[in-house]
Structure 1
Amino acid sequence: METRAHFTREEINSTVWEVPEKYTHLKQIGTGAYGSVCSALNEKNKEKVAIKKLHRPFQSEIFAKRAYRELRLLKHMKHENVIGLIDVFTPALSLDDFQDFYLVMPYMFTDLSKVRGQLSEDKVQFLVYQMLCGLRYIHKAGIIHRDLKPGNLAVNQDCELKILDFGLARSTDAEMTGYVVTRWYRAPEVILNWMHYTQTVDIWSVGCIMAEMINGKTLFKGKDYMDQLTQIMKVTGVPGPEFIQKLDTPEARNYVKGLPRYPRKDFSMLFPRASAHGVDLLEKMLVLDGDERPTAELALEHPYFDNLRDPDDFPEPLPYDDSHDNDTLSLDEWKRLCFREVKSFVPFPRRDSKRKNTLTMSP
């Protein structure tokens, strides 16, 4: 951790950035409700990075808790298909003047929401494989992402993919809430607001994204929640009584019972450009009942990935310790926890990908 003397200060789009002097050429590349992101060059190793500055992380207990959770999750992730931390720093020398911290991550070329049109089967295969490798790791750590969508999947020019944005990810055992995933990629059990869904909500999202890459258009483009559910049922077919019994509320059960009797569509007709194995994988992921969908680990055993599968892609994570996720702490306590996490950061030696890949990506 460098001292304040080795920091430079500049204003970028009305936001003050104080960063170690080794980071130069800052340029804003994104902004949102919770922070801004700049690309930068690390002069020591000439590596291009993305630096995220959280927007006033200690303005309230809720913001501070969210900042703490994001920092902890990013520190935990050590897989080449999941975004992780290269560095974390604060210009503050002590807890008393600790107001901001910055997260340094690998710079990525673009994200899948900016990649337009149909993709070739080998690209789809490689990208979906990487999504599932990343999800396998996340899920084995005990985390559900819950917000998988094209905009949260960063890709480099060589088609290497990283899962982004754990702002809304919660540990598997935490209480579930219904308003998380961007609607078009949201699993039906989330729309129906079950309280106890599982990691297979992320598998549904992968199915939606895979379908979009194959056909070049969004699979389920609902205008609202109920329209979204209707669009889904028109493809999956209306469920039988076993599924309906699993629904938590009488309202959800009555709504599904009242739907027209849509039959399940023929996926080979729906995805004429996909191979037989690709169609089969989509059929398994886009199943209405989350209990019937494969886990990420099981999906990776599918023949669709026979030419890609490599044991090195499946490292075992440590379980994520979410002991503070449900705590109600004071602002000062959250601040102290964040400061401790920033100060205790140790860089993880990142593995260069050994995957043989000749694919290229252009938005």
Structure 2
Amino acid sequence: MAIAARSRSGFYRQEVNRTVWEVPERYRDLKQIGTGAYGTVCSAWDRRTGAQVAIKKLHRPFQSKLFAKRAYRELRLLKHMRHENVIGLLDVFTAEISLDRFRDFYLVMPFMGTDLGKLMKMEKLTEDRVQFLVYQILKGLKYIHSAGIVHRDLKPGNLAINPDCELKILDFGLARQADAEMTGYVVTRWYRAPEVILNWMHYTQTGKRRVLIVGMLWDVGWVFLERKTLLSGVAVDIWSAGCIMAEMLLGKPLFKGSDHLDQLREIMKITGTPSPDFVVKLQSQDAKNYIRSLPKVPKKDLHYIFSKASSNAVCVLERMLLLDPECRASASEALELPFFNEFRDIEEETEALPYDQTMDNTDLPLDQWKRHTFTEILTFRPPRDSKGTSL
């Protein structure tokens, strides 16, 4: 339903599910395709390029300092990403022309159509499709990691896919904070690295019982790491990629824990009980005690579990699903495995410019986050197509 009032030349208003969207004339036929606590996404047709796009409207991005910082961070991340396997920004706009009236802004991204989670529910993937999809995941991770960024919440729903089986890593979960807030959001643990779960562990006294608590203490989503911790950080994404590849080959999740402790048990049924060398590296003393209390379980042969997969495919899993994060292959190392030879194009395996995380580690008042966001919108330059034309 279009609304007649206009606030700026070249823009129009449209009501989408009782929310007013104020967008440039070039974007037409808005249809809601997703919504969450922090924003709503519509598909639209870009009359300038003739392409379908996804437009995200953040939900009250400046309602608090925390929301404002998240909105600023999401915008800067999307502006930085320029890789075919990582979601990037086609456009960003606001209908307001002055900072004092600035309330909302919109992010325009490629429209993909579906995600890997939905695709796997619809069909069993052939091994050659698994090859192509995992190759794209690893190319995207190599790019992200080279910028000093770790995704940390990689799962099938964060892997967007278009009808040509082209894949982009995305994350609309930037603002999620804690498991307690994640109503209905439990699947993430199936792809979570064991060292992450182990290092959240602590005991609490409840009467005469000591209860093991596994909690999530960080923002889920992209995280920026110093170089000294980057290597251990990227291994978290490699584990998730291994879980996702295993699910593609099996047609079901490999580690389907009902809670965090059950998740660890499911992992160790296959990886075996951790070695003493691994246990001493854990930060949590309670996690060390817990692991040492477990009965010894031998490691299982992945060739037996994935008996229908090729030896080269299982070799990739063996390099990614290692309990010790220091032993897992990096994205660059995994790309060199024989499984990807058929699709490999080294020129496409590019690295990113370092991401300047100075502002992400800064504590500013709300009005300054708002000002910085407005400046980022005004300074946006759209990516160029293969002919060097701005989109």
Q: 2:274: which partner in 1?
A: 239
1:341 aligns with 2:376: yes
| Residues 82 and 163, structure 1, Cα contact 8 Å, conserved in 2 | yes
1:162 aligns with 2:173: no
Which among 68, 72, 78 is matched to residue 74 of structure 1? 78
1:136 aligns with 2:114: no
| Residues 9 and 16, structure 1, Cα contact 8 Å, conserved in 2 | yes
**CA–CA distance in 2 between the matches of 1:351 and 1:53?**
28
Q: Cα distance 1:350–1:202, how it changes in 2: closer, same or farther (>3 A)?
A: farther
Q: 1:28: which partner in 2?
A: 32
Q: Which amino acid is the alignment partner of residue 151 of structure 2?
A: H
- 1:199 aligns to what SS in structure 2? helix
Q: 2:110: which partner in 1?
A: 106
- 1:346 aligns to what SS in structure 2? coil
**CA–CA distance in 2 between the matches of 1:283 and 1:248?**
25
1:101-250 → structure 2 map (5 Å cutoff): 101-115=105-119, 116=121, 117-165=123-171, 167-168=173-174, 182-193=188-199, 197-250=232-285
Q: 1:172: which partner in 2?
A: none
Q: Cα distance 1:246–1:168, how it changes in 2: closer, same or farther (>3 A)?
A: farther
Q: 1:355: which partner in 2?
A: none
**CA–CA distance in 1 between the matches of 2:29 and 2:291?**
55
Give 1:351 shift. Answer: 5.0
Q: Which amino acid is the alignment partner of residue 214 of structure 1?
A: L
TM-score between both structures, scaled by the size of structure 1: 0.91
Which runs of 5 or more structure 2 residues have no equivalent in the other structure? 1-6, 201-217, 219-228
- 1:134 aligns to what SS in structure 2? helix
**CA–CA distance in 2 between the matches of 1:228 and 1:72?**
34
Q: Which amino acid is the alignment partner of residue 128 of structure 1?
A: V
**CA–CA distance in 2 between the matches of 1:103 and 1:330?**
23
1:254 aligns with 2:289: yes
Give 1:193 shift. Answer: 2.4
Q: Which amino acid is the alignment partner of residue 272 of structure 1?
A: S
Deviations 1:139-174 (A, max 9, x none): 0000000010000000011110000116549xxxxx
Which among 40, 46, 62 is matched to residue 42 of structure 1? 46
**CA–CA distance in 1 between the matches of 2:163 and 2:112?**
9
- 1:67 aligns to what SS in structure 2? helix
| Residues 23 and 42, structure 1, Cα contact 8 Å, conserved in 2 | yes
| Residues 212 and 219, structure 1, Cα contact 8 Å, conserved in 2 | yes
- 2:333 aligns to what SS in structure 1? helix
- 2:360 aligns to what SS in structure 1? coil
**CA–CA distance in 1 between the matches of 2:306 and 2:262?**
22
TM-score between both structures, scaled by the size of structure 2: 0.85
Q: Cα distance 1:178–1:198, how it changes in 2: closer, same or farther (>3 A)?
A: farther
| Residues 80 and 351, structure 1, Cα contact 8 Å, conserved in 2 | no
Give 1:241 shift. Answer: 0.5
Deviations 1:103-160 (A, max 9, x none): 0000001001101243100000000000000000000000000010000000011110
Q: 1:6: which partner in 2?
A: 10
| Residues 178 and 193, structure 1, Cα contact 8 Å, conserved in 2 | no
Q: 1:327: which partner in 2?
A: 362
Deviations 1:218-240 (A, max 9, x none): 11111111000000000100111
**CA–CA distance in 2 between the matches of 1:316 and 1:288?**
27
**CA–CA distance in 2 between the matches of 1:318 and 1:307?**
28
Q: 1:89: which partner in 2?
A: 93
Give 1:258 shift. Answer: 1.3
Which among 48, 65, 69 is matched to residue 65 of structure 1? 69
Q: Which amino acid is the alignment partner of residue 27 of structure 1?
A: K
The Cα RMSD (Å) is: 2.1
- 1:229 aligns to what SS in structure 2? helix
- 1:182 aligns to what SS in structure 2? helix
| Residues 66 and 167, structure 1, Cα contact 8 Å, conserved in 2 | no
Q: Which amino acid is the alignment partner of residue 317 of structure 1?
A: A
Give 1:263 shift. Answer: 1.1
Give 1:312 shift. Answer: 2.1
Tell me the percent identity. 62
**CA–CA distance in 2 between the matches of 1:280 and 1:83?**
29
**CA–CA distance in 2 between the matches of 1:146 and 1:317?**
18
| Residues 73 and 166, structure 1, Cα contact 8 Å, conserved in 2 | no
Q: Which amino acid is the alignment partner of residue 131 of structure 1?
A: I
1:316 aligns with 2:322: no
Deviations 1:233-283 (A, max 9, x none): 001001111000001121000111112211111111111121101001101
**CA–CA distance in 1 between the matches of 2:170 and 2:65?**
24
- 1:50 aligns to what SS in structure 2? strand
| Residues 242 and 317, structure 2, Cα contact 8 Å, conserved in 1 | yes
**CA–CA distance in 2 between the matches of 1:321 and 1:256?**
38
1:297 aligns with 2:332: yes
Give 1:316 shift. Answer: 2.5
Q: Which amino acid is the alignment partner of residue 236 of structure 2?
A: V
| Corresponding pairs, count | 345
- 1:4 aligns to what SS in structure 2? coil
| Residues 70 and 167, structure 1, Cα contact 8 Å, conserved in 2 | no
| Residues 83 and 164, structure 1, Cα contact 8 Å, conserved in 2 | yes
